[in-house]
């Protein structure tokens, strides 16, 4: 699959990245659940739909809270990894579906959660689908988590690597700017936001693994991979101390409700 094919096929972008994703992707802070209890009325009895669930990292927070979770994921490899969680969490069910067609019943969930996936959705198509499956008064929670895109040198230098060596990062960069998209998505309704800034201590292995888990980066065997790997090594050497580097991270939570009339 070449870059142009990947760009128009969000489902296929993470094929071959599951191991790196599970091992190295940043985990959501546990403070998210108390926030949702306060702001969205989340209880252990709430039924949650995790849309674009990936390997189940966001779903796991709700499962630990005692929630019934429907994990909707179109990529077969990612969904299979998520299904492994059912051994520990029997209240998890994984569905071969997408944001635009979840296969869930009308008014069947109290809260929709989306982690690091909303930028891939067709917002005009998934909005009525979300409205269909949500119970009255239900919330949509969008959770973003990754390296901070700030002006501090370490963040700027990491972004420069993605711009220079990413397969199609330049072409899809605007997808990650969701401020206006969210305003439109919840137009006439409610939209609240919260931030959980932090930092992650990374070895070089973890830095490379986390980078390879991103859908915009070349994998080993790709002609662009050696140059990206060299740039990562230079980046790590520049900022490491005693074998680890501290990469600024941010978890951004958006909580929205539609108008009562949809």
Domain boundaries, the chain: 3-148+174-202+249-257
In this prediction, residue 5 has a pLDDT band, given cuts at 50, 70 and 90, of very low
pLDDT per residue over 115-160, tens digit each?
989 988 999 999 999 999 999 999 999 999 988 877 789 999 999 9
pLDDT per residue over 57-98, tens digit each?
999 999 999 999 999 999 999 999 999 999 999 999 999 999
Largest CA distance in the chain: 57
* Cα–Cα distance, 59 to 237 (Å, whole number): 35
In this prediction, residue 2 has a pLDDT band, given cuts at 50, 70 and 90, of very low
More confident position, 2 or 40: 40
Q: In Å, what is the CA distance from 117 to each residue of 86, 99, 141, 226, 228?
A: 22, 9, 12, 28, 24
Q: Is 81 exposed, middle or buried (0-12, 13-18, 19+ CB in 10 A)?
A: buried
pLDDT > 60? residue 4: no
Q: Which CATH class is domain 3-148+174-202+249-257?
A: alpha beta
Q: In Å, what is the CA distance from 53 to each residue of 104, 106, 188, 254, 261?
A: 14, 20, 27, 17, 28
pLDDT per residue over 220-247, tens digit each?
999 999 999 999 999 999 999 999 999 9
């Amino acid at each position: 699959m070449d870059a142009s094919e990947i760009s128009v096929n969000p489902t296929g972008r993470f094929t071959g990245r599951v191991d790196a994703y599970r091992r190295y992707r940043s985990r959501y802070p546990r403070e998210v659940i108390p926030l949702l209890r306060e702001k969205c009325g989340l209880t252990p009895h709430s039924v949650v739909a995790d849309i674009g669930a990936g390997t189940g990292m966001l779903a796991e927070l709700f499962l630990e809270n005692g929630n019934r979770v429907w994990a909707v994921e179109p990529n077969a490899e990612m969904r299979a990894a998520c299904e492994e969680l059912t051994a520990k969490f029997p209240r998890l069910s994984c569905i071969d579906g997408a944001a635009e067609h979840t296969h869930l019943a009308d008014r069947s969930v109290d809260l929709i959660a989306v982690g690091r996936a909303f930028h891939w959705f067709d917002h005009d198509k998934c909005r009525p689908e979300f409205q269909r499956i949500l119970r009255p008064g239900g919330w949509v929670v969008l959770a973003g988590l990754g390296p901070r895109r700030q002006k501090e040198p370490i963040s700027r230098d990491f972004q420069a690597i993605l711009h220079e060596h990413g397969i199609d990062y330049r072409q899809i960069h605007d997808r990650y700017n969701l401020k206006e998209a969210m305003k439109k998505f919840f137009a006439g309704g409610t939209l609240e936001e919260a931030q959980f800034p932090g930092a992650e201590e990374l070895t070089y292995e973890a830095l490379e693994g986390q980078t390879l888990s991103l859908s915009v980066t070349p994998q080993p065997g790709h002609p662009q991979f050696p140059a990206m790997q060299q740039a990562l090594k230079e980046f790590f050497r520049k900022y490491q101390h005693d074998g680890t580097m501290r990469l600024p991270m941010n978890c951004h939570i958006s909580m929205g409700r539609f108008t009562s009339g949809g």
